[in-house]
Structure 1
Amino acid sequence: MSDRRIQALREVVHESYAIFDTVLDELDLDPPIACKSGCIHCCYNQVALTEPEALVLGLHLLETRDSKRLDDLSAKTEALVGSLNGKSWQDIGMARHRLPCLFLENGNCSVYPARPWACRGWNSVDVNMCLESNLSENALTLIENHPVTRLVADSLQKGVLRGASDLGLEAGYLLMSRAVSLLLEGGAEKGVRNCMEDWLLGRPFFARKKSW
């Protein structure tokens, strides 16, 4: 697999993340977004991501974690994925308050630079609403937010997916925990490389596993 193609994928995703950050910095939101470092209420959730996001996340894991941490992550991932086996997205969404993100560590996101659009686009203007949602475990609790940030993130995500589809590449969504399971399959170095090669050659990445 050409390193040039891998680097091109990385640059496209990173550029889209940078565009989102720039737009967010330029927005004058009233009331202001309440999200800040150390606020982890929305990290009790299972978000979906696309193939490009997942592959860039895989590269980030290889570059920032040693073999011991990757092995620990693999075990943690398989335990979580096993607990989700057979559950629909709706079932998982309704139980989200009992399902912390794989990458929530010591009260912070441990993959923050590589977090997906779903995490970047979501926001709240009142931390008390987020707290109440988690304490009540009511997935339908109202959380006031600014739709413009979600719209920007969603537009960038769909743009990258459309580009992938136009190139004949698989373009879809999968829960992040399930995507990470595929990335780490057979060992992180091998798994990420295999997923990367399959996807960039037009073969399935997410669809290699038919059911969960």
Structure 2
Amino acid sequence: MKIKTFYTSLFAALIAVSSFGQGKIIKLSTSEKDYDMKNATLAPYAGEGISGVQLTTPNQKSGVAWLKGKTFTEGVIEFDVMGANNPGASFVGIAFHAQNDSTYDCIYFRPFNFVAPKQENRDHMVQYISMPENDWYTLREKRTGEFEKEIKNAPNPDKWFHARIEVKGDAIRVFVNHNPTPALVVNKLNAHHDGKIGLWVGSNSFGRFANLKF
């Protein structure tokens, strides 16, 4: 009986490991009615053989398009994304574990830093934030270098690139363009492990998104 129980538990564990990261591709609607929009506008976009959506925020606040009826707990979020080589005005990523419009986790990229001439800027390519208490500025001041990193072999800032975010418990790992080495490894800074998920752009930015899977 103990042997049977052992193999049953082992089988369940193997299934859990093999299924980690096996998500479903979400066809991104090009209509704002299928999102809960916050300080942003959304429109269809197609370029470089990829069809998706473009999210734009026109002011100094970040913008989010929350996917209606969708939540995320843990596992893998994958998506294709494109920003621009526009210093200080290109911030693109995914918000998740949202409790409301202002309380959420977010992983985002600064494409203009992908080709920055200064190492100080290159160290700020990919970022984790936990809103509202831990925005990028607070983390950079109090825990310098811990929640933002350089991406080795960084993508072209004006092209689509692939992002993979693994979330398991409090651990978050970010991979770029199928590189087996994570570009960023952090632990969550809040106790929320479930919530809304959405497309995210920073101040005065646009972001293009496609092939979302989680």
Q: Is the strand fraction higher in 1 or 2?
A: 2
Global fold match (TM > 0.5): no
TM-score interval, smaller chain: under 0.3
Q: Is the helix fraction higher in 1 or 2?
A: 1
Length-normalised TM-score, structure 1: 0.24
Length-normalised TM-score, structure 2: 0.23
